[in-house]
Structure 1
Amino acid sequence: MERCMSVSETLKQMSGVALTGHGGLEMLQYKTDLPVPEPKADEVLIRVGASAVNNTDINTRIGWYSKKVKEDTNAGATDGFGSKVDDDASWSGVPLQLPRIQGADCCGEIVSVGENVSPDRVGERILVRPMQEAFGSVRKYQCSTYGSECDGGFAQYAIARSNEVLRVESDLTDAQLASFPCAYSTAENMIDRVNVRAGETVLITGASGGVGSAAIQLVKRRGANVIAVCGEEKMQQISELGADRVIPRGSDLLSELGPDAVDVVIDLVAGEQWPQLPDLLCRGGRYTVAGAIGGPLVEMDVRTLYLKDLSFFGCTYQPRHVFENLIGYIERGEIKPLVSQEFPLCEIGEAQQVFMAKQFIGKLILLPPEDK
C-alpha cells in the first residue's frame, strides 16, 4: 500500500507539554519545538482538536500509582512524592519512560497514515480509546494507557494505533467530544462489568467528578436509580444531572440509607468512609472501583464479604465493546458532555490547579494552538 505523505514531512515542529519527571507542576514543560511524530506501520497521525485533564494525568505526574504512596491524591498533587516513587509510578508498575507527552483524552482528525492503514481514513474525525490493548500481548487484562505507556494528546499532533482510533459522527465541538473518552469509558466499563440493570439502586461516590458525573448519566441510561454522594455545594447540579437522591459528602451513609440499601456501589473515592460501603450493599450486591482519591488503603471486615455473598470488581482493563458502545451513545445523543472550563494547552498548570481544587462539575478541557 502506498504511504500517504506525512504532515511531519511538511511541518517539522509542534507545541506540546512534556512531562519530564515525577513531582510538582514544574515537571510539566510546555514546548514549541517538539518534533511532529511520524506514523509507523498500523499507526495514524492525528491533528489534536482538544484534550482534557484527568486524575490519571496528575496521579502519573506525582507518582501516586507507586505502592510506596499511602496517602490520597491531594497529598502530593502540588509537589509530588519525591524520587522514592520513580521505580513503579505508572499504571503498569514499571518505570515511566520520560519525557512523556501525557493526555488520555484525545479528539481530533486523522491527517496521515502509516503503512497497512487505508488512506481513506485521512480526514476522519476521531476519538482515541484511552485504555488500550497492551501491544504484543494476547493475555486478557493486559492493557496500556494512552498518555502513560505511550505519548498522548497534550500536543498539536499525536500518534495512535489505527485500531485504537474510532471514527465519530457528531455535531459536538472538539472540546465537548474530548470530555468523553477517559471519564465516560471508565464509568461505562464499571457499569458494564457489574451489569447494572433497570430498576436497581446504584450508589455513586465522588459523583461530581468526571467519572462520577458520567456514571450518573450512564446508570440512568440503563433505567437504574442513582444515589449520588458529592460536596454539599454541588448537590443541586448533581440532582439536575439526573440523580434520584443526593447525599452530602461526609455524611454517615449507614444512618442516611440503612444497611442492605443498594444493589451496586460505584466507588471512585475509597478512603476513610470505605468500611460502610459493603454494609450498604444488599445480599448478592456488587461493588466496583476505579479510583481511590480519598486514600488507597482501607479496612475491611472479610466476614461481610462472604456472609453477604458480595462480588467485588476492580476495573482498569476495558473490553473493546465498552468504547464502541460509548461512541454509539454519543452519536445517538444518549449522553451529553459536561464541559466546565476550557484552557489553552500552554496553561496546563493552571488547569491542573483548578482540577485539584475540585470546585467544578464535569471536565476541564485543553485546547492546543492552531497551526500557523
Structure 2
Amino acid sequence: MTAIPETMRAFVLHGHGGFELLRFHHDWPVPRPGPGEALVRVKACGLNNTDINTRTGWYSKAVTKGTTGGTYEGDLEDDGGWDGGIEFPRIQGGDVAGVVAEVGEGADRELIGKRCIVDTILRDWDDPQNLEKTTYLGSAVDGGYADYMVVDQRNICPVECNWSDAELATVAISYSTAENMLNRASVGKDDVVLVPGASGGVGSALLQLAGRRGARTVALASPSKHGELSKLDPAAILPRQPEDLKQALRDTIGRDTVSVVADVVGGPQFPAFIDVLERGGRYTCSGAIAGPIVELDLRTFYLHDLTFFGNTIFEPKVFPSLVKYIEAGEIRPMLAASYRLESLHEAQQAFIEKKHTGNIVVTME
C-alpha cells in the first residue's frame, strides 16, 4: 500500500470574494480519519454552482442577483454559505470520485482500495432522515479540491464501471440533485417534464433520469448546445428563452402545458414556467442561477392547484440508486471538460461562462 504523505496539494477558500481568496497550497496537512471514518484519495472532483455561490457569498439574503461569479458587497459572513455561515479556511468540492486509502478505528477495512463516489450529504446516522441534522461536504466540512479528504465511511459508495475518474466526478451533486427533484415531484412515465437550463450538470442529469422513468422531456437551452443535448433524446429542444413558451410547446409536442417543471434557473422567466403548468402540475426547484427573487401570481398557484417542491437534502436511498444506474448502464456521463487541480481558477471561469454542455471537473493526476 502506498504510504500516506504528511502534506498534500489543496485549493483552499480563505473568505468570501473573488479568485484571490481561492488559493492553491502545495503543503496543506493531509487529514487523518477518525473513528468510523475513511480517508479518500481524490482522483477527480466536479465543479458545481455551490462552489461559486459559496465563494462569492451568493447564498446570503443580502444578495438578490443571479449567479455571476463576481464579488458581492455587504456582510455575508453569517449566511454566505450553503447552510448558513461558513468557517474559513475551507476546502470546497462536493462531487468526489476517488479510492479509499485508509480507514479509522472501527471502520470497515474492506473499503480500502475500493473505487468510490462520495455522498455529499453528511448526516446524523442515528437520525438520518432529520433534515435539521445535516451538513454538506465542501461547505460545512472540507471537500475534494485536494489530494485527500476524510468522510464518514457510510458516505462511501463503492462503484464498479468503466467510466473514467473524471466521468465519475460528474455524478455526486448533479445527478443526486436531479434524482431528488424527480423523486419529490413523483415523476413517472405519464409526465411531460420541462427542464430550463438543460445544458448544465443538473439539467442534463434531469433529462437522463426523467427519461429513464419513461417521462417525456422538453429541454430549454441556447441553440449552440442543442446538438449535444439531442444525444439525451428529449422529446423537444427549445431556445433558452422562447418568445412564447406556450406556442413553442404546442408546435413541438402538440400541447401547450407540461405536468412538471424541473427548474434550476428561476429569474425573470419564472412566471412563464408557472404559466405552462397544467392544472395539478408540480414545480420542483433546486437552484436560481438567473436570480432568486421571482414574480409569482398566487392566483395561478392556487386556482390551478399547483404544488411546489424545494430540494436540497436528498434521502439516503438516492446515492445507492445512482450507483445501480451507473453499473447497469442506464445513465451516461456528460463530461464537458477536465482541468488539472492547479487550474481550478481557469476551470471555474469556464464554468461561470456557461458555454459548456454537461459537467466540468478537475483531476488530480
Task: Tell me the TM-score normalized by structure 2.
Answer: 0.95
Give the drift of 1:140: 2.4
Is 2:228 the counterpart of 1:255? no
2:175 is aligned with 1:184: yes
| Aligned residue identity for 1:28 | L
Letter in 2 for 1:356: I
Deviation at 1:85, TM superposition (A): 1.2
Deviation by residue 1:314-354 (Cα, 9 ceiling, x = unmatched): 00010011111101000111000011111000000000011
- Shift of residue 82 of structure 1? 3.3
CA contact (8 A) 2:246 2:256 kept: no
Residues 340, 286 of structure 1: alpha-carbon distance in 2 compared, 3 angstrom cutoff: same
- The amino acid that maps onto 1:225 is R
| Alignment partner of 2:108 out of 108, 118, 136 | 118
Name the counterpart of 2:345: 349
Cα contact 1:107–1:178 (8 A) shared by 2 = yes
Q: What residue is the counterpart of 1:193 in the other structure? A: 184
1: CA distance, partners of 2:190 / 2:128: 37
Equivalent position to 1:331, from 320, 327, 334: 327
Give me the whole-angstrom Cα distance separating, in 2, the residues matched to 1:253 and 1:273: 10
Matched, 1:63 2:57: yes
Could you tell me which of 18, 40, 48 is aligned with 1:46?
A: 40
* AA at the equivalent of 1:243: P
1:220 to 211, 215, 221: 211
Shift, 1:365, TM fit: 1.3
Residue 301 of structure 1 deviates from its aligned partner by 0.8
Q: Secondary structure at the match of 2:279?
A: strand
Asked if 1:28 corresponds to 2:27, the answer is no
User: Quick check: 1:288–1:313 contact (8 Å CA) kept in 2?
Assistant: yes
**Does the C-alpha gap of structure 1 residues 135 and 151 become closer, same or farther in structure 2, counting only changes over 3 Å?**
farther
Alpha-carbon distance between aligned partners in 2 of 1:138 and 1:230, rounded to the nearest angstrom: 36
Structure 1 partner of 2:227: 236
Partners of 2:119 and 2:247 lie apart in 1 by 40
Which letter maps to 2:318?
V
Aligned residues: 359
Note if 1:171 corresponds to 2:162: yes
Deviations, residues 105-161 of structure 1 (Å, cap 9, x unaligned): 111111110111021211111110112325776662232221001100000011011
AA of the residue aligned to 2:343: E
In structure 1, stretches of 5+ residues that fail to align are none
Contact 2:99 2:116 in 1 (8 A): yes
Residue 205 (structure 1) shift = 0.5
Whether 2:301 is the aligned partner of 1:309: answer no
Please report how far the alpha carbon of residue 260 of structure 1 lies from its aligned counterpart in structure 2 after TM superposition.
Answer: 6.0
- Counterparts of 2:222 and 2:295, CA distance in 1: 23
Conserved in 2, the CA contact under 8 Å of 1:192 and 1:322? Answer: no
Residue matched to 2:237? 246
Partner of 1:127: helix, strand, or coil?
A: strand
The answer on whether the counterparts of 1:285 and 1:310 sit within 8 Å (CA) in structure 2 is yes
Secondary structure of 1:155's counterpart equals coil
Equivalent-residue separation in structure 2 for 1:6 and 1:171 (angstroms): 23
- Distance in 2, Cα, partners of 1:233 & 1:120: 47
Question: In structure 2, what residue type is equivalent to 1:151?
Answer: D
Preserved contact between residue 12 and residue 22 of structure 2 (Cα < 8 Å): yes
Aligned residue identity for 1:61: R
1:209 and 2:200 are equivalent in the alignment = yes
Mapped partners of 1:209, 1:134: distance in 2: 31
Q: Deviations over 1:33-90 (max 9, x none)?
A: 001100001110011111111111000000000011000001xx13x11352111111
In 2, the alpha carbon distance for the partners of 1:123 and 1:36 equals: 18
Q: Give the alignment's TM-score, normalised by structure 1.
A: 0.93
Deviations 1:148-188 (A, max 9, x none): 01100000011011111111111211111111111011001
Mark the runs of 5 or more structure 2 residues left unpaired by the alignment: none
* Equivalent pair of 1:179/1:339 in contact (CA under 8 Å): yes
Give the structure 2 partner of residue 132 of structure 1.
122
